[in-house]
Amino acid sequence: MIKIFIDNPLLLLFVVAAIGYPLGRIRIRGSSLGVAAVLFVGLGIGALHPELKLPEIVYVLGLALFVYTIGLASGPAFVASLKEDGVRNNLLILGVLVLAAALTVAAQRFLALPATITAGLFAGSLTNTPALAGALETIKHVAPQNLMEQLLAEPVVGYSIAYPMGVMGVVLAISLVQKLWRIDYAEEAARTRIAGAATESLRSRTIRVTWPQAGRQTVAALSHQQKWDVVFGRIKRGDECLLTGPEVRFRPGDLVLAVGTDVELQHVAEVLGEVSEEEITVDRSEFDYRRIFVSNPRVAGRRLGSLNLFERFGATVTRVRRGDDDFLPHDDMVLELGDRVRVVTHRDRMGEVTALFGDSYRAVSEVDILTFSLGLALGLLLGIVPFPLPGGVTLKLGFAGGPLIVALVLGTLGRSGGMIWSLPYSANMTLRQIGLVLFLAGIGTRAGYGFVSTLAKGGGFAIFAAGAVVTCFAALTTLWVGHRILKIPMGILIGMVAGLQTQPAVLGYALEQTGNDLPNIGYASVYPVATIGKILIVQVLLSLLM
């Protein structure tokens, strides 16, 4: 059987994936390894024979796909995070990463660890696969050819031993501090207002207008003056039903349908009048409403306000669904392929609005091979460019950093003329998952034999303990400084800790604790900087220690 796998690496790849992926979904006390279980299955199978390993191109291809799709999706959030408190938050994360690196070096001196295992320890304790890939890329450029195989396996060994505590340690740290500090996430979300982002689920409420001065200003001017973060839909005025546009004026006695969070809707009701239990029924022979897929390339990458929907079609967008989340539409919101917009308009104009957005599920399931390949090629080219550092050290971003940086730029741009750089949400998630599985299976099988050898020599416990110290130090430092000194809301902060770890499993735990979207905001705001920071730091560590 072993010889069959050695002679058929493609068969080996899919066997590792087929065993590892379902194992990662098994939950023990609320936690699971997720897709990282593929790595451990690869280690187990690779340990059976020194030749039982996948070709190098498998993990290189997987890595490039993984980081590139992450960059495309994170670009807009990263740029947005640089506004207001984003710079402060990212400096906090970078500072913690530098301290974690210093602690890793101290552990290396104390335990007399090889530089290669130390690099894997750093990447594993902070659960960052691109950082591990950055370490492997650096080793390939500096290691002697006769030791290449051994040195490439050692970072994966350190990574694999430190990784489990890299997840569990952070979860334990969050659980500890939220109990010690008695965090009330619901109350915190109620007083935390972030422009363009909902901290709670969206609701629809009917508001009866009783304010005598409601008609003195247009809806657009009134919303701007009151800083309302809601969308107004239909209005029932006597027996007449009409849609709310920016130039419409409310009148006392109107019944207005508003969409927003509970807190925002309460603010609106306090000014305009009161919440009404009466429903605004729609005569669908006159008005119609439906969700429409954004599949038209001419619409994707454009701001919603530039479409002038109300002026052109008398149409109003009340929600934008991206993935599994609903967002309030704003004029500056950039539409992406695969978004689903909820539109209300006159029945005889719905066909025109549908044609504008495209509404083709098949179209949003396809990938534009030209822009995808071109963007990835640019990233790979950037990755091989050497950057000189002080002290004669040369740094390369490699197949992890290059595609990530290019993808962040292209994801932020969205489109260049007729070329759309972003991917449909479903296509992005699929390619990201495939890329990660390829990478984990590739490095797992290639390091399995060395992993078992290290454990057999008795050095595994020391690496595990050192990784646990680095993980808990980084998490607790971020939580204490962020909440106690910088006064960052805990809901956002635990998302930042998940972003520091670049760990979706920790983000999932954070979302379960808060019951709102604040962790998503913190995660997206620091994830790119944390990823790039760890890739660069691990390469500097190797350059200094080898």
- The per-residue pLDDT for 156 is 80
The CATH-assigned architecture of domain 203-363 is: 2-Layer Sandwich (3.30)
Q: For the segment 430-489, what is each residue's pLDDT rounded down to a tens digit?
A: 898 898 889 888 878 887 776 677 666 666 788 888 999 999 999 999 999 999 999 898
CA triplet 67, 70, 72: central angle to 5 degrees?
110
> What stretches of 317-459 show up as alpha helix (H) in DSSP?
350-357, 361-364, 369-383, 398-413, 425-456
C-beta atoms surrounding 29 within 10 Å: 7
226 and 267 Cβ atoms separated by less than 8 Å: yes
Q: What is the value of pTM for the model shown?
A: 0.71
Q: Which two tokens stand for residue 54?
A: 């996948």
DSSP codes of every residue in 86-148: HHHHHHHHHHHHHHHHHHHHHHHHHHT--HHHHHHHHHHHTT-HHHHHHHHHHHHHHS-GGGH
Burial of 225 (0-12, 13-18, 19+ CB in 10 A): exposed
Nearest residue to 92 (alpha-carbon basis) of 526, 400, 453, 519: 526
Q: What is the pLDDT of residue 469?
A: 94
> Residue 267 corresponds to which tokens in the numbers above?
């603010």
CA 184 remoteness from chain centre: 25
Please name every residue paired with 273 in a beta bridge, in sequence order, or none if there are none. 209
> What token pair was written down for 429?
């998630």
Residue 217 has a pLDDT of 87
Q: How high is the pLDDT of residue 241? A: 83
Cβ burial of 275 (10 Å; 0-12, 13-18, 19+) is middle
Name the nearest CA neighbour of 127 among 541, 482, 531. Answer: 531
| Nearest CA among 32, 33, 53, 50 for reference residue 42 | 53
Q: What is the DSSP string of 488-531?
A: --HHHHHHHHHHHHT-HHHHHHHHHHHSSSHHHHHHHHHHHHHH
For residue 183, give both structure tokens: 């965090």
Model pLDDT, residue 433: 84
| Tally of helices (H runs) and strands (E runs) in the chain | 21, 13
The confidence score (pLDDT) of residue 466 equals: 92
Q: Decide: 294 and 341 in contact? Cβ < 8 Å.
A: yes
Look at residue 183 in the predicted model and tell me its pLDDT. Answer: 85
Q: What is the number of other CB atoms lying within 10 angstroms of the CB of residue 15?
A: 15
d(CA 26, CA 23): 6
User: What integer pLDDT is reported at residue 198 of this predicted model?
Assistant: 45
- Helix (H) or strand (E) holding 317, with range, is strand 316-322
Annotated domain spans of the chain: 203-363
Task: Locate 368 and state its tokens.
Answer: 């534009």
Handedness of CA 329, 333, 335, 338 (dihedral sign): negative
Q: 3-class DSSP state for residue 334?
A: strand
Question: 236 and 335 in contact (C-beta within 8 Å)?
Answer: no
Rg of the chain's alpha carbons, rounded to an integer? 26
166: which residues sit within 8 A by CB, 6+ positions away?
A: 124, 125, 126, 127, 467, 471, 501, 503
Helix (H, G, I), strand (E, B) or coil at 418: coil
Residues of the chain with pLDDT under 70: 28-34, 36, 77-78, 80-84, 142-143, 145-150, 190-201, 282-285, 389-396, 450-451, 454-459, 504-505, 508, 516-517, 546
Give the burial string for 444-473 (b: 16+ CB within 10 Å, else e): bbbbbbbbbebbeeebbebbbebbbbbbbb
SS3 385: coil
Backbone angles phi, psi at 350, to 5 degrees: -65, -35
Cα–Cα distance for residue pair 381/385, rounded to 1 Å: 7
Instruction: Quote the pLDDT of residue 285.
Output: 66
The tokens 């039982």 sit on which residue? Answer: 52
The Cα 45–Cα 40 span in angstroms is: 9
CA–CA distance, 383 with 379 (Å, rounded to integer):
6
Question: What are the pLDDT digits (tens) for 50-80?
Answer: 888 899 888 889 888 987 887 887 777 667 6
Q: In degrees, to the nearest 5, what angle opens at C-alpha 143 toward C-alphas 137 and 148?
A: 85
* 488, two tokens: 């960052």
Question: DSSP assignment, residue 478?
Answer: H
Q: What share of the chain is helix, strand, coil (3-state, %, to 5)?
A: 60, 15, 25
**What per-residue confidence (pLDDT) applies to 197?**
46
**Chain centre to alpha carbon of residue 21:** 20
